[in-house]
Amino acid sequence: MRNALTFDIEEYFHVEAFAGAFRPEEWPGLTSRVVDATERLLDILDYADAHATCHGYAHQMIHRQTRLEFAKDVQRAKTAIEDAAGTAVVGFRAPTFSITRKTLWSLEVLWEAGFLYDSSIFPILHDRYGIPDAPRFPHRVPVMNEHGIAEFPLSTILVMGRRLPVAGGGYLRLMPYPMTRRAIHHLNKFEKQPAIVYLHPWEIDAHQPKVRVGLMTRMRHKIKTGSTEVKLHRLLKDFRFGPARDVLENAGVLNAGEAH
């Protein structure tokens, strides 16, 4: 079974955890590290397939935006990527997984903007994001009385009735690799479902500048960035991966060649 591999392309200073340390107005003055790290990711993947996923332009959590602001931001990001990459952008990942119960209206905005799928709903209980009782696997969310948009929730496994995030970001960095491998294997073999792995370029950038934030925040952000690249290599060796769109098609949640 193929799993989905996704990257949220952003600078280390864009992350919500550093919102107190860097204001968006300061971003243009900071030294960019995203290109180097992304090139390393592309080398690892030897990435030929160009199905892009869009991550917003200003990288602001959705609940801080009005519907109109959000619509403008995603359209700006979509157009920028489409112009640069020459390929249609059909998928969306919200900054800090900020599609929650309160911001479900954003799925309508995405659908109106021509997106075919979203992968922003974390079906867990978390202080900053998540819809704890959302479906765990790819499904369709009806919007505006239409067939709707496909949703690829972030991967979890059930441990004693609780949902544990397993396949991306800090969870992937913190968890010993054999546990991640077992979790994805379990999803594929026993639950017969694809996993979705996500990473950010800064998660393989062990030499990013030190940021003046609390120790906990700094730890959460930087922990094990030195070994994440090795984990990605091992994942690519142990599992088959493809773009989220293809995996959703295989799962029967998107139709081949679908557009609206």
Instruction: Point out which residues bind Zn ion (CB under 5 A).
Output: 8, 10, 95
187 versus 197: smaller Cβ distance to Zn ion: 197
Among left, alpha and beta (phi > 0; psi -120 to 50; other), residue 32 is: beta
Residue with tokens 């009005």: 66
Nearer to Zn ion, 95 or 123 (CB): 95
Q: How far is CA 19 from CA 145, 211, 220, 225, in A?
A: 37, 11, 14, 20
**Nearest-angstrom CA–CA distance, 62 and 133:** 20
Q: Nearest approach, Cβ of 94 to Zn ion (angstroms)?
A: 8
Q: How far is the CB of 16 from Zn ion (least distance, A)?
A: 8
Shortest gap between Cβ of 10 and Zn ion (angstroms)? 5
Q: What is the smallest separation between the CB atom of 172 and Zn ion, expressed in angstroms?
A: 15
Give which of 29, 81, 41 is closest to 57, Cα–Cα.
Answer: 81
Query: Of the two residues 122 and 239, which places its CB atom closer to Zn ion in the complex?
Result: 122
Residue 90's nearest CA partner among 194, 240, 250, 243 is: 243
Q: Which residue minimizes CB distance to Zn ion?
A: 8
The distance of closest approach from Cβ of residue 121 to Zn ion in the complex, given in angstroms and rounded to an integer, is 15
Nearer to Zn ion, 11 or 229 (CB): 11
**10 vs 108, beta carbon nearer Zn ion:** 10
Is 168:138 a contact under the CB 8 Å cutoff? Answer: no
